[in-house]
Structure 1
Amino acid sequence: MEKKANTYNIRRNNLAAQIVNKTLNQISEDTARTIIIVGSKSVGKSSLLHSFLEKSDRPRETLVLEYSFGRKSSQKQGIEKIICHVWEYGGRLEMLRNVLVSIPVTGRFFLCIMVDLSKIKTVWNTLETCIQIVSDSYINSLPELIIIGGKYDVYKNYDGDMKKNISTTLRSMAVLYNAHLLFYTNKEPQLVRKAKEVFYNIGFGNGIPFREKNTNYTKPLMIPRGSDNWDSIGVPSSTLEQIKMRHLSRIPSEGEMKQEVKGLQRSHPEPALDSLVALKYEELHNLETFDPSIDEYLMLL
C-alpha cells in the first residue's frame, strides 16, 4: 500500500510539473502567476484555495504536494487568458526545502505562509521554519510573501494580552520580511470573501492584494506590505533573533508547556485520581502536537 501510494503521488506530481513546464516558454509576466501556499497542517489551506478557484468538490487532506490552476480572460487587449498555477504543500515542514526547489515558477510569484492561530505555541516554529526555508531557497529572487493567520474563529476568543502578543509578532515578521498580513477563517463569510478577493487580485488581477487595512489586534488583521512600521507596532526596530526572544518570553515554548503539565497540583483526595488526571492531560497534549510522517500515515491506512 505504501509503495503504491508513493508511486502514485510521484507520478501525479511529475505530470503536473510537465504540464507547467510545457507552457513556460509561452508565458510572460502578464499572462502567468504562481502561488505556493505552505504552513501548518489542517489550518484551512485547501479550503481557502477551493474557495479561490471556485471548486465545488470537498477539500481532501493534502499529504505532500497538490497542483491546481485557474484561467481568466485578461482585460488587456491582445493578451490571452491569464493562467494562475497554484501549489499547496501539506507535508512536514522539515521536508519543505526539498519540495520548493522542484516547483517550477513562472510569471509573478507569490508565496503564502499560513499559521494556525488556534495553536498558539506552534505559531513561532511554523513561521520561523517556513520563512528561513523560503529565504534560503530563493536567495536571488525572493517571492512576494503573504502571512496568513488561520482559524481566526478560535483565536478571536483568546484574551486581549495573548492576541496583542501574537499580533505584535506577526506584524514584526511582516515588516522585517516586507510581507502582507491577514487573518482568515472559513467559518466567517466576511473573512472568506476578503481572502478570496486577495487571492483573486494576486492570481488574476493587478497583483495588489489588499484594498483595505486594519492594525487593531482586537479585530482580524489586514495589513498590506510597506504600510506598517515599528513605531506603529510599538516595538523598536528588530532582527529575527530579537523578535524570537520577545515572542518566546511572552508565550511558553513546547518544552515549557510539557513542564507545566507535569507540575499539576493535587486537586483530589485520592493520589490515584491525580495521577489519572495528569496522564489524561499528557495524552491530550500529545494528541494536539501529533504530526506523523507521510510514511507513518500511509502505513496506518
Structure 2
Amino acid sequence: MLSIPEIAASLVEESLTNISDDNSCSICLVGSSSAGKSTLLNTFLDRNDTPRETLVMEYSFGRKTNQKQGIEKTICHVWEYGGKLETFKNILPSIPVMGKFFYCIMIDLAKIKSLWYTLETCIEAMLTSYAEQKSAIELLIIGGKYDIFKNYDAEIKKLICTTLRSVALLFKGHIVFYSSKEPNLVRRAKDILHGIGFGNGVPNKDKIFSFTKPLMIPKGTDSWDNVGVTASTLEQVKAQLLSRISFDTELPPLSEGTVGIQQAHLESSLDAKVAMKFEELRNLDTLDISLGDYLLNNFH
C-alpha cells in the first residue's frame, strides 16, 4: 500500500507527463518568509485555507477548461518554497521547466534591510539551476506588504523602486507590488497570476512607474532612461544600494516567544530536555521548519 507522500509523488508525476507548451504552465514562488506567498497563492487558487508556514517545497495546481478546445483543460502547476534561502539552490533543479515557466520572487517591502539578500540569493539560484534554459523562464518580482512600504520616507521608496526596476531590466522581468490588506492590489495580483497561469501572460494595459504608487511594470515597457539611471550591471546596482542602506545578510534572531517554550512545562525535567533539544536544533544548518512548531509538536 502506497504512503501519502508516494501517492502525492505519483499524482504529480502523472500530471507532468501531460505537460505541453499549449496546455500547461508552471509557477515557482520563492522569497522572503512571512511576505504573504501562501496568502497570495490561496487567493489565486480560490482556496479558503488558513495560511500556514510552508515547509521546504509544496506543490499545488489549478485547472481551467479551455473554451477553444472543449474538454481540454489548462493546468497551472504551482511550486512554493518556504525553507531557508541559502539551501534553495539545491532544491530548485528538481522543479521541471516544462511548458511556460514563471519564476516569481516575492520580497518583503517592510524589511528593506534583508531585501537585497532575498533578491540576490533567489536570482543566483535561478541562474545556476537554469543556466541552459534562460529563454524559457520569465521572471516576476512581487513586492509584498506594500501597505507598510507606502508609508516609508520618499527617498527610501525611490531608492528601492529604482533598484527593483534596474534588476527587472537586467533580467527582463515584470514587477508588481502587492498587499493582502488592500483589495485593489489583491485583485491586481490575482489577475496577473491568472494571466500567467491560464491566459496570455502579464497584462500590459495598466502600467505604474511612479515610486509614490504601487509599481506595475510588465517586461519590455521600462527603460534605463525611464528609471533615470545609466545602464548598470547587477554588481553596480548592488553597490549603489549598499552605499545608501546597510543590509542584513544573516538570518534574523530567534523570537522571544520561541525561547519561552523552554519554560512551558510543569515538570522541570521536561523543561531541561526541551532546553537541550533547543540548543541542538539551534545549531543545525539544515533545519527548515520553525523551532517553535517543532518543539510544540514533539514536547506537548
Q: Common fold, TM-score beyond 0.5?
A: yes
> Please, which of 88, 96, 118 is the counterpart of residue 88 of structure 2?
96
Task: Work out which of the residue numbers 159, 165, 185 in structure 2 matches 1:191.
Answer: 185
CA offsets, 1:164-205, max 9 Å, x none? 000000000000010000100100000000000000001111
| In the alignment, structure 1 residue 155 sits paired with structure 2 residue 149 | yes
TM superposition shift of 1:299? 4.0
Shift of the alpha carbon at 1:295?
5.7
Q: Does 1:76 align with 2:76?
A: no
Matches within 5 A, 1:1-301: 12=5, 15-77=7-69, 80-142=72-134, 143-254=137-248, 287=255, 293-294=287-288, 297=291, 299-301=294-296
Structure 2 residue matching 1:300: 3-state secondary structure: helix
Please list the CA deviations of residues 66-124 of structure 1 after superposition, one character each: whole Å capped at 9, or x if unmatched: 11111001132356100111010000001111111112333110010001000010010
* More moved, 58-67 vs 100-109: 100-109
Q: Kindly tell me: are residues 167 and 250 of structure 1, through their superposed partners in 2, closer, same or farther at Cα, counting changes over 3 Å? A: same
Retained in 2: the 8 A contact 1:71–1:83? yes
| Greater alpha carbon shift after TM alignment, 211-220 vs 191-200 | 211-220
Change (3 A) 1:24 1:231: same
- Go from structure 1 to structure 2 and tell me whether the alpha carbon gap of 1:225 and 1:16 turns closer, same or farther (over 3 Å shift): farther
Aligned mates of 2:295, 2:230 — CA distance in 1 = 49
CA distance in 2, matches of 1:105, 1:160: 39
Q: Give the Cα separation in 2 of the matches to 1:129 and 1:160.
A: 27
Match of 1:5 in 2: none
Q: CA deviation at 1:63?
A: 1.8
Residue aligned with 2:243, SS? helix
For 1:97 and 1:285, how far apart are their aligned partners in 2?
Answer: 23
TM-score by length of 1: 0.81
Describe the SS at the equivalent of 1:133: helix
- In structure 1, distance between residues paired with 2:7 and 2:115: 34
Map Cα deviations across residues 233-282 of structure 1 (whole Å, 9 max, x no partner): 01110001100000101112238xxxxxxxxxxxxxxxxxxxxxxxxxxx
CA RMSD of aligned residues (A): 2.3
Tell me how far 1:218 sits from its aligned partner: 0.3
Q: Which amino acid aligns with 2:46?
A: E
TM-score by length of 2: 0.82
Count how many residue pairs are aligned between Structure 1 and Structure 2. Answer: 262
Q: Aligned in 2, Cα 1:69/1:125: closer, same or farther, shift over 3 Å? A: same
CA drift at 1:136: 0.7
Provide structure 2 residue ranges, at least 5 long, that are not aligned to the other structure: 259-281
Partner-residue secondary structure (3-state), 1:145: strand
For 2:253 and 2:91, locate their aligned partners in 1 and report how far apart those are by CA, in whole Å.
Answer: 30
Larger CA deviation: 187-196 vs 52-61:
52-61
Residue 18 of structure 1: how far off its partner (Å): 2.9
Q: What's the % identity of the aligned pairs?
A: 56
Segments of 5+ residues of structure 1 without an aligned counterpart are 1-7, 256-283
Partners in 2 of 1:203 and 1:196 — Cα distance? 10
Higher helix proportion (structure 1 or 2):
1
| Alpha-carbon shift at residue 206 of structure 1 (Å) | 1.4
> Which residue identity lines up with residue 196 of structure 2 in the other structure?
I
Compared CA separation, residues 150 and 226, structure 1 to 2 (3 A): same
Q: 1:18 & 1:219 partners in 2: Cα distance?
A: 45
